[in-house]
Structure 1
Amino acid sequence: MGKMHFVGLLILFYLSAAGILAQTTIKGEARPVATVTELTLESKVLGADKKVHLYLPEAFAVSSPDHTYPVVVVLEHQFAPMIAGTVNHLVLTGRMPETLVVTLAGEDDPFYAPRVYTNGSDYWPSNWKQMPFDQPQDRLLDFFESELFPYLKQHYRAADYRFLVGASSRAVLVLDSFCRRPGLFDVHVAVAAGDILGMGYREGETFIEHLTEQLQKMPSPPKKRGALYVASALSDADYSPAIAENIKKLAQKMVPLQQKKRPLTAKLFANDDHYAILLPAWLEVLEQVYPQARFSQDYDKLEAVEGNALAKIDAYFAGLSQEYGFPILAPADQWNTGRSLAANGRRLMGRERYAEAAELFARAAAYRPQSPYLCAQQAKALAGAGRRAEALKAHREALARAKKYTPDRVETYQKQLAEAETAAKTK
């Protein structure tokens, strides 16, 4: 040990012993912040309690009952945080509607799916003539249809628009749902599923045939429903060449069956492996279902077009709602983005279009019934439009909301109301 190194250690020891080196401390107790809700449903269909994890939209608790939400069911709970995280990111950037993400929580719970024939697949144990799933095969889909979805609709305002996501062996249920319960889900995502495509309900039959038959029978969708996405990793195909053959066959079958409202995909990913492809696959699915060109509306350009701003925004979202078959509403106030009613209102006030801005803030305040800020902004717009009495009413509503929901901000809104009352008296 060098002399300087030894001296340095002595100094460090002295400072530590003397308490001179600062130590980071926390104020109060550390506490977890919940990002997921665990529900235990008493299931008559399953004959047992069933735990599910539910990821709610960030603004769920402060949004009005007007809001309803599509549902993503993830069959593997390990992937739910990633699925929910990408959904939340795209919602925050105005790229898709707010969405519920739900997953089955039990690690060792029975998994009900058809015991499809493996047809000699070399990806699974050679002695498996059929996949060893639990019976009866319809039980899990029955649980979704008759228990989970009605509960989510009643308690969490779930919309009638649903995704089913499963990987590897659990992709069997995704493909089975598409073939035998085609109306239960609107978007089916089967990842790491190239080997599953070679399996079938009867020995010698394959899901390639089953899916093609179902697609041929399905009528043209009046809404954007019925999407099917199947993918595998090229590394899996290196291990089992039949995987690449299955994906290629299905992709060829899909070509004449493609429709704008029902995107169909079968592909291999070259640069990731078995489960890792779920992330890029999921992003592709969301782009297919919610194309950027359709959802990245430039509100600034929309405002520049002649006519009432709120009427144009309403028309845009009415078109989306018609296209997808469930209500899609304009975001009330979105973090760090110009794509919201509040952002529109602020821009319009900057252009001295106060009456239109007041309409936007009124709608935003109705969508966020706990927000004093949106009422206060409405009041400012009304004052700019010369509608002082209405502005005072909006200020009083802002203060009432602050007292009820954000008591630490009461003083701010009391001051704003007092200033508005003084201004009204001097006019």
Structure 2
Amino acid sequence: MSEDTLIPEATAVPVRERARIALSAARRRTLALTDCLPDGELTAQHSPLMSPLVWDLAHIANQEEIWLLRRAGGRPPLRPELDALYDAFRHSRADRTALPLLTPAQARRYLATVRDHALDVLAATPHPGDGFLFGMVAQHEQQHDETMLATHQLRRGPAVLNAPAPPPAPPPAPGDMLAAEVPVPGGPFTMGTDTDPWALDNERPAHVVDVPAFRLDTAPVTNAAYQAFIADGGYDDPRWWHPDGWLHRTRARLTAPAFWRRDGSTWLRRRFGHTEPVPPAEPVLHVSWYEADAYARWAGRRLPTEAEWEKAARHDPATGRSRRLPWGDDTTTGPAHANLGQQHLQPAPAGAYPAGAAPCGARQLLGDVWEWTASDFTGYPGFAAHPYREYSEVFLGDRYKVLRGGSFATDQVACRATFRNWDLPVRRQIFAGFRTCRTEEPTEEPG
């Protein structure tokens, strides 16, 4: 991994250098996701759920111009006529191919010009403070890179992306099998953050939440476990489904995760242009919240709340503190900790990355697959939109479900134990899976 792949924490390097590294890493990934395709595929709409890739290219540049050149640098607009064209709230994704978009060559030139000016602003800023705007822009670009990777998954055609397979789960020590679930003790913990300089508005403020004891799956639900749900008629039994989910399942004719199909007795999946047998040990991927919720009910369990998930990922009972990452504070995420940053193009087998385990013993809480939770996307007590309402505030409410933990497609600059993602409960193109939990039964006092 290059120096620009690993983003050191704020305490490790000066803010200006950390921002430069984060911006450079995001740009290399953006270009790698687009330079591999001809112009016709960049301008095509591969799914009505997604923008044409060329729109993402220019949108990334436009947001960087608005926030780094104009806001941080106080510079006059370079291309003010593009603001409305690349405003994500003005035009739905399905309609963007009809817009007078920049060509791929024009979008790349705009991208490069804005970046040159942004680095000048960064170098000329006498006191960059915590570098929040630079961190926000780097995270924004990486989030669009993950969206573009989802577009790659949706496109039809030969494979254009390659990456090595993730590491296998280590064999258990003699006589020490990996437990199916881990206990998370009850009691209060600190949720959210006031101290992470690049945390976004919906991660703030820090607040204390009292979470009753529960037991959480040690690893995400696997393809093999999910196939048992399918084989038991899980998609055909309304007992397991939320009423809205059953209606959606019926209308959409869902019978398996997205990109799966049967070939005789074998389940196959399409993955970035390859067709392959579904690996039984990998976490299940491309399932909606409704499917995750139905599986959990079928298994006699439930999805964890967002607070339960975060407590499992962060709370250290030995110190009473909440960590920034499951494995500690102010440590650079490396390949031994988690499957992040598109280093691989699939999840690692369940039980991988023991070095990244949380204090409770749960593994793979960061990386591999986004994990659906039971919670709606709402603001924390004292939430304040920053630096603009459209990042989080306009999405708050009961329409969206929270996902946690990131996926193999999420860069570490946009992944921490406080980071919150959200989407509609029907969405399946995202790199989402889940794990289940159950409430800890109280222990009876001896008579």
Which bin holds the TM-score, normalised by the shorter protein?
under 0.3
Q: Which has the higher contact order (CA 8 A, sep 6+)?
A: 2
Q: TM-score, normalised by structure 1?
A: 0.23
- Structure showing greater radius of gyration is 1
TM-score w.r.t. the length of structure 2 is 0.22
